[in-house]
Amino acid sequence: MPSPVIELRGVRKAFGAHSVINGLDLSVPAHSIFAFLGNNGGGKSTAIRLITGLLRADAGDVEVLGMDVRSERRAILAQVGAIVDAACFYPNLTAAEFLRIGCTIKALPRSEIGRVLDMVSLGAARDRLVGRFSLGMKQRLAIAHALLGSPKLLILDEPSNGLDPEGIRDIRELLAALPRQGDCTVFVSSHNLDEVEKIASHVGVLKGGALLFQGPLAELQSRHAGALLVDVRDAARAGLVLAEAGYRAEAGAGVNQLTVHGVELQGADKVNALLVTSGVGLVQSVFRTPSLEQWFLEEHHV
Ligand SMILES: Nc1ncnc2c1ncn2[C@@H]1O[C@H](COP(=O)(O)OP(=O)(O)OP(=O)(O)O)[C@@H](O)[C@H]1O
């Protein structure tokens, strides 16, 4: 198996007496789209600043692309594209002029400009002033800038923040295509679980400065029981029958609908059989896997 692209072991970081990262172990596989999740203020940006060497850890090891961030930061950054803070643009430059600065700094040929603009679907806007760009276009331009030189790792801190639904969809489609388009791993922080669920291959959930979970998204989803939505003729009686059998059921959206929580797919037959034999008139039964959003909110008690 290839070694992880980002690896943190026992990392700690405090600001004065305020401990933000508390023994963080993180392992980001190559070619993954790794969604780094956590509540606002939970420490995601701090962790990203530790990974990019903008901050120094109080304890623990931070390795990126197999190199120690303390001693080999320059070599790492040559292969990493990152948007860590809100991107800063010069409004009077065109998109192409803005990217030309990046090419000069990174000693890259000008042909890179067209390539990265096409990747973010801004080819037609190359000679337009950045000051006239929508927020979504600016964010795509920032990603184009991060893609200059074909980095092996792209690190994005909340790239969809402040965007409208269309802008969010554009960024999602763009990120989803990156690992396929090149030899690239995408590490993206977000508190927008809906977004992440659609594109991530792997997930890390940060809570209290350490990870509550990390691994494939599918594994996270499979860990959590679903809910059974049942339509019955007599909801009051069905509620009693279910409660007596130890199920947690509550009124659903419809008049004669109940939601039975904590049911696994294999256990749905048992609930259905109970409702049929108790004579409450089972009309239909639908199993729902909880969205990551539901799970996350439950775990975080927010
Ligand atoms: N340089 C700093 N000095 C002091 N405290 C800081 C500093 N940077 C971050 N913090 C504190 O660390 C905590 C975590 O902040 P951080 O920005 O890492 O969270 P986050 O998960 O990225 O949140 P958000 O999604 O809101 O950006 C916050 O309480 C913040 O106030």
CATH of the domain at 178: 3.40.50.300
**Nearest alpha carbon to residue 118 among 181, 179, 167:** 181
What pLDDT score does 114 carry?
Answer: 95
The finding on whether 44 has its CB within 6 A of some atom of ligand 1 is: yes
Return the CATH number at 272: 3.30.70.120
**Nearest alpha carbon to residue 203 among 82, 2, 32:** 32
What pLDDT score does 1 carry?
Answer: 64
For residue 232, name the pLDDT band (cuts at 50, 70, 90).
very high
| Pocket perturbation via mutation, ligand 1, pick of 44, 48, 189, 205 by most ligand atoms within 8 A of CB | 44
Over residues 245-260, the pLDDT tens digits come to: 999 999 987 889 999 9
- Domain membership of residue 148 (yes or no) is yes
Can you give the pTM of this predicted structure? 0.80
The finding on whether 42 has its CB within 6 A of some atom of ligand 1 is: yes
What pLDDT score does 301 carry?
Answer: 45
Domain final residue, candidates 194, 221, 248:
221
Q: Which domain holds residue 276?
A: 224-300
What pLDDT score does 171 carry?
Answer: 87
Domain final residue, candidates 186, 221, 256:
221
The residue with greater pLDDT, 202 or 167, is 202
Please give the DSSP secondary-structure letter assigned to residue 4.
P
What pLDDT score does 180 carry?
Answer: 78
Q: Report ipTM for this prediction.
A: 0.94
Q: Terminus-to-terminus CA distance in the chain, angstroms?
A: 37
What's the rounded mean pLDDT across residues 198-202? 90
What pLDDT score does 14 carry?
Answer: 96
Length of the chain: 302
Domain final residue, candidates 159, 193, 221:
221
- Domain membership of residue 259 (yes or no) is yes
- 42 CA: nearest ligand 1 atom: 21
Residue nearest to atom 18 of ligand 1 (CA): 43
- Domain membership of residue 1 (yes or no) is no
User: Phi and psi for 76 in degrees, rounded to 5?
Assistant: -65, -50
Looking at the 3D structure of the chain, how many domains does it have? 2
Specify whether 264 is located in the same domain as 190: no
For residue 298, CA distances in Å to 46, 193, 195, 226, 294 come to: 24, 13, 18, 13, 6
How many angstroms separate the CA atoms of 111 and 94, rounded? Answer: 16
The finding on whether 209 has its CB within 6 A of some atom of ligand 1 is: no
